[in-house]
Structures are given as C-alpha cells and as structure tokens.
Structure 1
Amino acid sequence: MAQGVSSAPLAPPAHDLSMLGLFMQADWVVKAVMIALLLASVYVWAIAFEKFTALKRAKREADEFEDRFWRGGSLDELYRAQGDNPAHPMASVFVVGMREWHASTAAGTGAMMVAGTRERVERAMAVTIQREMERLEKRMTFLASTGSAAPFIGLFGTVWGIMNSFAAIAGMQNTSLAVVAPGIAEALFATAIGLVAAIPAVLIYNMLASQMGRFAGRMEGFASEFGAILARQTEAAASAPRAAAAE
C-alpha cells in the first residue's frame, strides 16, 4: 500500500548560532558595526600595551636619574651628561631648568635677578612637564571615546538588526520563536561586541589616568625641590660680591 505524503509543515532552515555564524548571517550594516567595534577593541589593547610599557620605562628611568641627582654630585656634570636631548621626562625637566638657570644667572646679579631667575626656571620646568605629559597621554582620548561610544554603536547595530528581523517576520507571516530567534541573536551580538570594546577601554583609561597623574605629581615634586636648590645657589652667587665688597 502506498503511503500518503505527510502534510506537516517543513521545519525552518537551521541557523548557525556560533559567533562566526552570527557574524556571517548578519545584515551588511550590522557587519560593518561589528567590524568597526572589533578594530576599535584591537586598537584599545594596542594603546594599553604601548602606554603601560612607556610608563614602566619612564618610572624606571626616573628612579635611575633621581638616584644620580641625590648622590650630591655636581649639577653641571649631570647636566653635561644628559646632553641637549634627554631621553626621558625627568631628565628633560632637569635639563630645561639648568639651561634656563645658566641663561638667567649669566645676565648679572642682584635681588631682582634672583627673583626673576627663580620665576623663569619654574615656568620653564612647568612647561616641560606639561609637554612631556601631553606626549605620554597621546591617544588616551581614543580610550575615553571608545569607552563612552562603543555601547551606543553596538546598540545601533542591534536596533538595525532587529528592524530587519521584524521586516523579515512580516514578510514570512510567521512569528514562531524558531523564525524570530536567529535574527534577534545576530542583532544582540553587535551589542555584545560593543561591550567587549567598551569595558576594557574604560578600565584601561582609568588605570592609565591614575598612574599618569601620580607620575605628573612626581615630576612636579622634583621640579619644586630642584627649583629650591637653584634658588639657593642663585642667592649665594648674588650675595658673594656683596660680601667681598664689604671686606
């Protein structure tokens, strides 16, 4: 006896719900959002590696320089050893301070010269600290921008994907979960990638900002102590001719 053909509806085609499958089945706009977020995430980690490495090197070199500075040797010898283009931020502050001090004290002596010298030296070192910190903080704005914007970019991809899913549902006139779920999963995957990019960016930015703030404070403290040393030497040089004349 011939068997009758089953009249049961055909099952919907299976969907690949792996991460690669969700990406490949997504709409081109959602794909573009995912690619942009993935590239941003890779760049975030590249910046993190570069900044943490640079900070570690700057701290190590600052330790070595301060050890030499506080040994009590000649400041002029240390100045000549650093050269015109010092290799790290702390040495740059020292070299600029010494250069300005030499230029100012060569102009003459007197109470006005002492006050003016200290002001010019402190200003020169403050400008150098700001310039060195700007160099260290380069590309930090990308971390902050990624941390704040990536979730919304991912949400845009999600909204776009859900709109396409509902449009497809309306066209198929089938609201079963098997039809709805794959499209919704593809759309939500964009939000997940946005969070993958945003969360590390925020954490890395906060850690780097804290460490850079401490390093900037360390350089400012060194500049204040060094400025006080140069001020004492300037006052001693200014008082020497008066003492000789009194004798």
Structure 2
Amino acid sequence: MQTLETSTPKIIAGKGEGIGWLTFNQPEKRNAMSLEMWQAMGEVLELFAADPEVRVVVMQGAGERAFVSGADISQFETHRGNAEASAEYNRIAGHARHLLATLDKPLIAKIRGYCIGGGLAVAMAADFRIAAADAEFGIPAARLSIVYPFDGIRALSDLVGPGNAKKILFTGFRYKAAEALRMGLIEEVTEIDALDATVLTHARAIAENAPLSIQGSKQALRELARNEADRDLDRLRQLSTDAMNSADYAEGRHAFMEKRKPRFTGA
C-alpha cells in the first residue's frame, strides 16, 4: 500500500488495489476527533475524490478500542468555548462532513469498539457500515447540552426510523453491535477476528466492478432520498448514457462472452 502525506499524524491515509484507506489515529483518546483531524480528513477526501486509482474508500480507527469515540473534548475550551469559536470549528468540520456526504465513490465504515457522537455521524455518512461484535454505538449529546447536527439527525432517522432515533438521542444510551444491527444502524456484524477480511472482501469487490455503474447507482440512491420535485433525473439519464457509451460497457460484454474477469478502467 502507498502511504499518502497528511497534515497531521492523527490522520493516516494510503491507497492500494483500488482502495483508499483513511485511518483516525488518536488511539490514546479512543480516536476522538480533534480540529486538525477534521481538517486533514477533508484534505484526504479531496485527494481520494480526484484520484482515478481510488475506486472505494474505507474509514477505520487505529487500535482496537474505537472507530471514533466522538469529539476531542479537551479542545472545547480553546476551539468551542463560545458561539464564535464554535462557528469556526463547525466550518472546518462541516466542510469535511460535506465531502463525506458528496463523495461519488463508495464509502465503507469499518468499526471496532466505540462509535459515539460525532464518530457515529462520520460512520452514518458511509454507504454502509460493517462492525465487529465489540462495537458500541451512541449519541451523548443530551448529556452535554449539545444539539446534534441536523444532517446527523436526518441520517439517523433515515437509518433507524424516528422512534429509534428519538430513543438514541433522548436517552444517550449506548448500544451493542447486535442491537445496532437490529435497529438498522449498521449493515453487518462480524466476529472480531473476521472484520479485516470481511471489509477487504467487500472493498475489493467494489474496486473491481465498473466505476461508472457504481457512480450511477450511488447518484440514483441520492436522488431517491430527495423530494421528488428536487430530483435531477437529467443527470441520471446522462450517467446512464455515459455508461452505455463507455469502453467499460464493451469490456463487460466481451468479458462475459469470453468467460473471463472484466478489467474496468472507469472510461
């Protein structure tokens, strides 16, 4: 895997086999998100979005104790001590969240241990979430007098429904992986020692498939989530046309006829 330079060692990035890897690296604080981590995450996502070699992105936490345990509360006095300071913090974090939400490439959250608060918001921005059996999920906003961001509440409600969203937000309880799966908060639970292989199997499969097809499917699902009047159906038709006219479509047909594995290039 090729290691990529980042603006802080608290975010590790690399790529290989068509997969971009983004690792939250503050294990001594259970990978709590600091301001510089939000900044670096945005920079890495911009690199991945522009890199044709990266076809799928996997987010993970360093160590065994956490994906992301929330915000780095030790920075609250300096970076979120009042409304003005919080506005700048939210601008930087908001830009990274926007990049998560608008990434055209598939995004997988690989989760071990704590996935709490802002960490859960990051995980919910993924296209799907695969968790180890030791994962724990929750939103403690009500215990800190914080109003969870609207986009995060909407994503939570879309995944688990309004009733479960209210239960999670109002109580601040933590939920084990099995319960999170039952509620629809995650898509798959594995044994701890199977997590790496399971995620890698999914990521490799996506990286080997046709990028134009995946981009069209992802965009169609985004449009489906919007109000009917706001859907950009013209863009979907163009994505479909581009895919049908692509060299990859011809490659897919030829590979099928020749009974071999296709080699897609994204063109």
- Shorter-chain TM-score bucket reads under 0.3
Q: Which TM-score applies when normalising by structure 2?
A: 0.22
Identify the structure with the greater strand proportion. 2
Identify the structure with the greater helix proportion. 1
Q: Which TM-score applies when normalising by structure 1?
A: 0.23
Task: Select the structure with the greater relative contact order (CA < 8 A; seq sep ≥ 6).
Answer: 1
